[in-house]
Amino acid sequence: MFLSKRICRKKALQSLQWFNSKSMASKPEVFKDMTTFDLVKRGVIYKMSQSDILLNNGEWLAKQSYQFLGKHITNGLIECTGGEIFTSGPTIKTLIEDVDRFYYEDGILSGAGYVLEGCEQDDIALFDNCTNYLLETLDRVCKTRPYCSLAIKLTGLAHMDMFKIANKAHFMFFYHLFKKYATQRGNDRLVLTRDALIEFLRRNKYHVTDANVDEFIEIVKFKDSKYGKDEIGELEFFSNVSSHYFRSDKHHADIIHQVCERSGLTPEIREALNRFEKRIDRIVDRAAKYGTKLFIDAEQSYIQLALDSFARQIQTHYHKDRRAFVLNGVQSYLKLSHDHVLLEVERCRALGIGFGLKLIRGAYYNEEVRLAEEKKYPSPVFETLEGSHKSYDSNITHLMNNLNPDTDFLLMGTHNVESTKLAKSLISKNKLTGNNVC
């Protein structure tokens, strides 16, 4: 019995050390005080977390468990397995305990988070409750703890159909209009002319007047635009075209309204967007008041265009008079992520605000590949892990080499040893500190 227990403990330790060498590069002494049971449990859970079968079918398994075992048993199973290892438990009280322990024992900063996952129905009370819980987290955890930030998913504040439809309008604007009808101007970025805009509208049977075209161009152009009065630059289009404008009624402009309407954006969806805007504003207002950094999660590519637009508008409004504290997520496994990073830095410089980015490799790889295969469109993610590594390192290099230490903030989300070494060298080269990057 003693021998088998020793063997079991040894194998569990080997499993945990293998997992951490691949991801976190943790030291073996992290596990020295754990019981054999805890080691085996963690070893099994870590292995399971690497299983494509479980990752791809986790939602279905959870639904089956809730149906047949009930809410209390299922939640209990989650809390005593993965929840115990990967989260701080089910309450704000348990979160506070972990946040304080990590900081005072090891000097580790924390990010609090509470999310709803992919709600399809517009349950107003549910989303309002989620908003209130995030506000309570800010009040009870972050207000007096500068070592704790708040991470949020925008999709936890409104229903998925709203984001999908808003994203469809963004796709229409950026790919059906701008990418197809804009032209290259020497070594400059793409430029959309008035005539090209009218051609798009004519071919797609939009009914507009010259005044409607003038209105659209005026909305999109920068006040100090370097382009002619009948031209829109790529950075201007990237920055100023949206399916929904915060603190503005620009989405009622005729061309924007028609494109959104054709994309399925109904008055009911517009009302949902207005409620979403109020929820996110309450959260960002509170975070700004407490000086708390706010991390916005990147999500699936089929809603990310809309999420990025909303995040940009939040940053433009709140970063005017303070250091960047709203950090939008960028997933480097996306083939277009480097273009996005270049435009984002350029946008913030043009507007005179700090950039805030949370750079990760990506969280939805299997889903992105599967959807691309099923719907017969090119995969938006790199086919190889090496491609994601190169993209991440290229993005981190550009961001750190262009980071303004007085206004910008960058969060690096990586477990990769080589990327961490690169980041350390760039931090040293550019004389950056914890005020700029973590």
- What one-character-per-residue DSSP string does 403-427 give? --TTT-EEEE----HHHHHHHHHHH
Mean per-residue pLDDT over the chain, rounded: 90
Indicate if 164-262 has the same CATH topology as 89-158+266-429: no
Calculate the CA 256 to chain-centre distance: 25
Q: Is residue 27 over pLDDT 90?
A: no
Report the 10 Å Cβ neighbour count for 182.
21
418: its two tokens: 């080589």
Cα–Cα distance list, 125 to 158, 293, 368 (Å):
11, 26, 31
Angle between helices 160-171 and 267-290 (to 10 degrees): 100
Arithmetic mean of pLDDT, 173-189:
90
What is the domain partition of the chain in residue ranges? 1-50, 55-86, 89-158+266-429, 164-262
- Contacting residues for 289 by C-beta, under 8 A, at least 6 apart: none
CATH topology of domain 164-262: Recoverin; domain 1 (1.10.238)
Indicate whether 214 pLDDT > 70. Answer: yes
Q: Which segment of 114-118, 213-217, 424-428 scores lowest on mean pLDDT?
A: 114-118
What is the distance between the alpha carbons of residues 4 and 94, in angstroms, rounded to a whole number?
35
Give tens-digit pLDDT for 30-82. 666 778 888 888 888 878 877 778 777 877 888 899 899 998 898 888 888 87
Cα Rg of the chain (Å, integer): 24
Measured distance CA(181)–CA(190) in Å, rounded = 9
Topology at the third CATH level for domain 89-158+266-429: TIM Barrel (3.20.20)
pLDDT in the model for residue 422: 95
Residue 326: pLDDT above 60?
Answer: yes
Give the integer Cα–Cα distance in Å for 357 and 344: 9
What is this structure's pTM? 0.87
Q: What are the pLDDT digits (tens) for 408-423?
A: 999 999 888 999 999 9
Q: What's the order of all strands across the beta sheet hosting 231-233?
A: 183-184, 190-193, 231-233
Q: What is the mean predicted confidence (pLDDT) over 321-329?
A: 96
CA distance 285 to 291: 10
Residues 403/430, Cβ–Cβ less than 8 Å: yes
pLDDT digits (tens, 9 = 90+) for 355-393: 999 999 998 998 999 999 999 999 999 999 999 999 999
Determine the pLDDT at residue 77.
85
Query: What does the pLDDT read at residue 10?
Result: 46
Judged by DSSP in three states, 328 sits in strand
Has residue 433 got a pLDDT over 60?
yes
In the chain, what is the straight-line distance between the N-terminal and C-terminal CA atoms, in Å? Answer: 47
